[in-house]
Amino acid sequence: MTHMTDTAPAPGAASRRTAHTPDPRAARAARRRRTLHWIAVHALGIAAAAFFVLPFVFVVLTALMTDNQALTRSLWPHPFAWSNFRTVWDTPGFLTWWRNTLVYSVAGTVLTVVSSLPVAYALARFRFRGRNLVMVLVISTMMLPPQVVIIPMYLFWTKQLHMDGTLWPLIIPMAFGDAFTIFLLRQFLLTIPKEYTEAAKVDGCGELRTLLTVIVPMIRPAIAAVALFQFFACWNDYFGPQIYASSNPAAWTLSYGLESFKGAHHTNWNLTMAATVLVMAPVIVVFFFAQKAFIEGVTLTGVKG
């Protein structure tokens, strides 16, 4: 599944081929072709990398400019206004939004994983009538735009339960399984040979104990992957907080509050970009610690397990 290693040929491969080629001129031509190919591929790679990386570079550079300079066309900050980050950090509300986002993301992730795991296990291991139907329904809800059911959900949470201005309407549903998490965990579980769980059953383990003591330790990378996906889904969520929290700035999240840095009369691009950096940074830091889990998870969404 993870062919992450480079596919460079063994060091001897090239020389072996040369040894079999009687004509040294042909060998030189072949080598030159390979060199040209190497250069072309890497040049293309650098051009593509520029497209993906330069936006980050410009955002950081602008985050370091003074207010006046950000409105000019110059690209390099002079002087470096490191205080922008301080200003954003000290903005009233920013720390509250940070805390709300963290609470939403952590609670959402824990609840989602805990409630989705048994469902995924049942769908991967138990045989029962209607299992395929359940799978089809899970995938259908996974593909459903959240806007489809938002009107009755909003009325339910705010008119009946009076939870307007809080993040509870977003957190509570996570205790009832999430379709994408169930789908992904099931894909992982299908790759684990049945023999492992059967052995536990012979030893007298019940299904729940088998799940917790045999399966969970085996699929730790999978759990890490789905937990990360869920964490970032909450971290990045804009629509949910916009619907339920917008009436109460004390309940805003970073994604929702970010727009407020535009300034009162014109866009303070330097502060806006400094805030953008501060919202993106945790995502990028976590990615560097958990690269493998991410990539495995993404691969499994699209490739047969």
Binding residues for another protein restricted to 78-107, rule: CB under 8 A: none
Among 30, 66, 98, 118, binds another protein (CB under 8 A): 118
Candidates 142, 131, 214; CA nearest to 181 is 142
Total Cβ atoms within 10 A of residue 175: 14
Residue 147 Cβ vs another protein, minimum distance, rounded to whole Å: 4
Number of residues that bind another protein (CB under 8 A): 108
Q: Does 19 bind another protein (CB under 8 A)?
A: no
CB-nearer residue toward another protein: 24 or 96: 96
Residue 270 Cβ vs another protein, minimum distance, rounded to whole Å: 10
What is the distance between the alpha carbons of residues 100 and 253, in angstroms, rounded to a whole number? 6
14 Cβ neighbours under 8 A, 6+ residues apart: 31, 34
Among 15, 23, 24, 143, binds another protein (CB under 8 A): 143
Query: Interface residues for another protein in 26-45 (CB under 8 A)?
Result: 38, 41-42, 44-45
Candidates 43, 139, 103; CA nearest to 237 is 103
Query: Interface residues for another protein in 212-271 (CB under 8 A)?
Result: 232, 235-236, 238-239, 242-243, 246, 252, 254-264, 266-267, 269
CB-nearer residue toward another protein: 64 or 70: 70
DSSP the chain: ----S--PPPHHHHHHHHHH-S-HHHHHHHHHHHHHHHHHHHHHHHHHHHHHHHHHHHHHHHHTS-HHHHTSS--S-SS--THHHHHHHHSTTHHHHHHHHHHHHHHHHHHHHHHHHHHHHHHHH---TTHHHHHHHHHHHHTS-GGGGHHHHHHIIIIIS--TTSSHHHHGGGGG--HHHHHHHHHHHHTS-HHHHHHHHHTT--HHHIIIIIIHHHTHHHHHHHHHHHHHHHHH--HHHHHHTTT-GGG--HHHHGGGGG-SSS--HHHHHHHHHHHHHHHHHHHHHSHHHHHHHHHHHHS--
CB-nearer residue toward another protein: 2 or 24: 2
Residue 4 Cβ vs another protein, minimum distance, rounded to whole Å: 8
Name the segment binding another protein (CB under 8 A); options: 10-18, 56-64, 78-86, 215-223: 56-64
Residue 28 Cβ vs another protein, minimum distance, rounded to whole Å: 20
Query: Interface residues for another protein in 179-218 (CB under 8 A)?
Result: 182, 187, 190, 207
CB-nearer residue toward another protein: 24 or 301: 301
Q: Does 124 bind another protein (CB under 8 A)?
A: yes
Residue 234 Cβ vs another protein, minimum distance, rounded to whole Å: 11
Q: Does 21 bind another protein (CB under 8 A)?
A: no
Residue 65 Cβ vs another protein, minimum distance, rounded to whole Å: 11
CB-nearer residue toward another protein: 19 or 40: 40
What is the distance between the alpha carbons of residues 26 and 102, in angstroms, rounded to a whole number? 62
Among 18, 66, 96, 115, binds another protein (CB under 8 A): 115
Query: Interface residues for another protein in 271-300 (CB under 8 A)?
Result: 272-273, 276, 279-280, 283-284, 287, 291, 294-295, 298-299
Q: Does 144 bind another protein (CB under 8 A)?
A: yes
